[in-house]
């Protein structure tokens, strides 16, 4: 299993430049965790002791609303993607958001101390980490721009088109509650917007699977 863990780590963008020995040290210190859907990986405010790499399934990172009834999904990560790698560099050493399994998932837990030792020993890995942190910051800025300047209709169209381009027709939608959290709204509005798309004939829905009937019209509607 050790060799398999090294291969998982080697596919993480900022670890691609790590030496074979460096990957072996990380793999030996890491552990696999299995999560059921909804299983908590970490909570906002927990001490940062490790970062994670998704091996199977999907994990969402989110911020909860103070009323406890709502959340906004900051990002959704699948196989090969790291989680909480930014948090290991924070002075307060506490997770700034929470994470839970959006589907049954398996993750690799990588100790913070071992990772920081690797950064000090291998400058190429440190440079890769800096590039990755810059990319993550850019992604969060884009998310903020969407939430600030786009309405729900525009956000939903953008999401559907991105999924279509990545997966093709017939991709599976999250629940309305999960989709609302991902796009910064509430389930009721998400349900009404999806219903409108369906009734207008812009999309076809079958058991939460989506076919976009007219991508050009859908984008034109979003742009007004």
Read off the pLDDT of each residue in 60-83 and give the average, rounded to a whole number: 78
Return the domain boundaries, the chain.
2-145, 150-222
Comparing C-alpha atoms, which of 214, 189, 190, 217 is closest to residue 203?
214
This prediction has a pTM of 0.68
Class of domain 2-145: mainly beta
Residue pair 154/218 in contact by the 8 Å Cβ criterion: no
What is each CA distance from 202 to 63, 153, 157, in whole angstroms? 32, 13, 10
**CATH fold of the domain at 150-222:** Arc Repressor Mutant, subunit A (1.10.10)
pLDDT tens across 82-97, in order? 988 888 887 778 898 8
Sorting pLDDT into bands at 50, 70 and 90, what band is 148? low
pLDDT tens across 170-205, in order? 888 888 877 887 787 778 888 888 888 888 888 888
């Amino acid at each position: 299993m050790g060799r398999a863990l090294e291969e998982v780590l080697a596919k993480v963008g900022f670890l691609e430049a790590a030496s074979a020995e460096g990957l072996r040290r990380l793999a030996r210190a890491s552990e696999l965790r299995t999560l059921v859907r909804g299983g908590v990986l970490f909570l906002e405010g927990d001490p940062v002791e490790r970062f994670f790499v998704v091996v199977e399934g999907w994990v969402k990172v989110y911020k909860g609303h103070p009323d406890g009834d709502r959340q906004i999904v900051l990002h959704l990560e699948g196989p090969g993607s790291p989680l909480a790698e930014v948090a290991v560099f924070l002075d307060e050493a506490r997770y700034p958001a929470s994470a839970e399994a959006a589907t049954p998932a398996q993750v690799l837990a990588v100790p913070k101390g071992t990772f920081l030792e690797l950064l000090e020993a291998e400058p190429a890995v440190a440079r890769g980490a800096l590039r990755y942190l810059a990319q993550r910051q850019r992604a969060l800025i884009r998310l903020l721009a969407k939430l600030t300047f786009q309405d729900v209709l525009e956000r939903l169209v953008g999401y559907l088109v991105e999924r279509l381009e990545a997966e093709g027709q017939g991709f599976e939608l999250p629940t309305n509650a999960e989709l609302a959290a991902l796009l910064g709204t509430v389930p009721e509005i998400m349900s009404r917007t999806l219903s409108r798309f369906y009734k207008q004939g812009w999309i076809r829905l079958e058991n939460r699977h989506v076919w976009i009937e007219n991508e050009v019209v859908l984008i034109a509607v979003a742009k007004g």
